[in-house]
A and B are shown apart, each in its own frame.
Chain A
Amino acid sequence: MLTLASHLRLLLLLSLLGLVPAGLLGAAETASSSFGEIAVPNPAKPASAEQCVEPVEVMRRDHMKFLMHQRDATVIDGERESRYSLVGCMNCHNPANETGEIVRYEDPQHFCAECHTYASVKIDCFECHADRGLEQVQQSRIDSAVPAWDGGGASLSAGTLGHRLSLSQ
């Protein structure tokens, strides 16, 4: 039965429902601008290349999709010469900070870390992958004086720590 109370309830429901598209419209209006007042990270672009393999807006949203698909293609199918290879990314997006020093991925001035700290998403890639381009990797390895292999030598019979067994089979 349509009473005043039920009319008021209906009105309240409709106005609440109306708020949703209004809010979306408002958000869409400001999306093309810099999200209203909120600052969005704008990491330094590499000087070398003119543009990334995809437009910035596509990359911002979909770079993980490309990476997730590419990693399977590389590991399982052996496809390495792809536009989406991570090595390709790091060769261009070398993570220099303001003073030009190459930084690690935990540093907020690292190219990937700039957006990831903003979005609060942990980066898993650099547990295994180098967080910089090949040239910089080789320089870092020289700088950190990775010891040379001594051919086994004194450690050949590491069994000095255990005891030798002769396997009489």
Chain B
Amino acid sequence: MKTVAENQLPQPTRRGFLKGAAAAAATLVAPGIFLYRTGQAATALNDQARWGLLIDTNALSEADVDACVDACRREHGWQVEQDSATDAQWVRKVKLTDQDTGHQKFLPMMCQHCESPPCVDVCPTGASFKRADGIVLVNKHTCIGCRYCMMACPYKARSFIHETLKDQLPVAPRGKGTVESCTLCVHRIDRDGANAMPACAEAVNQNGRKAILFGDLNDPRSEISLRLQALGGTRLRADMGLNPGVRYQGL
């Protein structure tokens, strides 16, 4: 039974209207402030850059490559028992002997940080991903340990953690049941940008020489780009069209 007369519509007071308007405005603006704050915080990533390495195999002796592997090991906290098939190796020393000439060289082999990484394509959860600045990483929070990326990698760059770990270094969290590989020292890059130096490069670049050069491949005036223009650089398994970010000279 309706008893409210038609001319007795509720009359909003001025106070009520101002309150309502303020509340509506705040609701509209608040998410924007929150987003702005989050947007502000994530400034470490330079998505215009593409980080890469140029490795001059002619300038690297066996001891240099050992030092480079050792530096990565100490930076990230992994180690290898002798003849171990299950220990992780982020970077390894490779000895090449030419079949015809017998010429020998040593080089460090790590994740090539491809532009079209097969490991990223095959990961079912998207844990294996390529960052905006070209670094290929494993997001171990979402890695389920299926090892499909290890099957897919053309360079055998990835390792699986086969046992419980403890005392992980804070810059390199790593744990049983997930997959990992060279991160291009992403923690250093996030801190220092283009002035960063991955641990492997730092180990061999003494006395002004740059046997392992790190830099921005997208910047035509960076040292790495200039050297690539002048002297060229080989991509491993170039026929696969993956365009790796790690290039080698002397191969």
Interface of A with B (CB < 8 Å)? 71-73, 75-82, 87, 90, 104, 127-132, 134, 137, 140-141, 144, 146-147, 149-152, 154-158, 161, 166, 168
Bound complex: CA A167 to CA B137 (Å) = 31
B233 at the interface (CB under 8 A from A): no
User: Which chain A positions have C-beta within 8 A of B41?
Assistant: 73, 79, 82
Contact B173 A130 (CB under 8 A): yes
User: Which chain A positions have C-beta within 8 A of B227?
Assistant: none
Contact A127 B176 (CB under 8 A): yes
User: Which chain A positions have C-beta within 8 A of B186?
Assistant: 78
Nearest CB of B to A165, in Å? 12
- Interface locus among B19-27, B117-125, B152-160, B164-172: B164-172
- Interface locus among B1-9, B10-18, B78-86, B210-218: B78-86
> What is the count of residue pairs linking A and B with beta-carbon distances less than 8 angstroms?
102
Contact B131 A78 (CB under 8 A): yes
Contact A152 B169 (CB under 8 A): no
Closest A residue by C-beta to B93? A152
B70 at the interface (CB under 8 A from A): yes
User: Which chain B positions have C-beta within 8 A of A72?
Assistant: 141
Bound complex: CA A130 to CA B178 (Å) = 15
Bound complex: CA A141 to CA B75 (Å) = 13
Bound complex: CA A76 to CA B41 (Å) = 13
B73 at the interface (CB under 8 A from A): yes
Interface of B with A (CB < 8 Å)? 38, 41-45, 63, 66, 69-70, 73, 77, 79-83, 85, 92-93, 95, 99, 129, 131, 133, 137, 139-141, 164-170, 173-178, 186-187, 189-191
User: Which chain B positions have C-beta within 8 A of A151?
Assistant: 63, 66, 69-70, 93
DSSP class of B's interface residues: helix, strand, loop or mixed? loop
User: Which chain A positions have C-beta within 8 A of B189?
Assistant: 78
Nearest CB of A to B53, in Å? 18
Q: Pick from A78, A90, A132, A147: contact of B42, CB below 8 A.
A: A78
Contact A75 B176 (CB under 8 A): no
Bound complex: CA A156 to CA B173 (Å) = 27
Bound complex: CA A132 to CA B92 (Å) = 30
Contact B83 A155 (CB under 8 A): yes
Contact B66 A80 (CB under 8 A): no
User: Which chain A positions have C-beta within 8 A of B93?
Assistant: 151-152, 156
Contact B168 A146 (CB under 8 A): no
User: Which chain A positions have C-beta within 8 A of B165?
Assistant: 128
Contact B175 A134 (CB under 8 A): no
21 A-B pairs in the complex with CB atoms less than 8 angstroms apart = A73-B41, A76-B131, A77-B44, A78-B44, A78-B131, A78-B133, A78-B189, A82-B41, A127-B175, A127-B177, A128-B173, A130-B169, A137-B170, A141-B77, A144-B167, A149-B66, A149-B79, A151-B66, A152-B93, A155-B83, A158-B85
Nearest CB of A to B237, in Å? 12
Contact B79 A134 (CB under 8 A): no
User: Which chain B positions have C-beta within 8 A of A152?
Assistant: 66, 69, 92-93
Contact B44 A129 (CB under 8 A): no
Closest B residue by C-beta to A153? B82
Closest A residue by C-beta to B72? A149
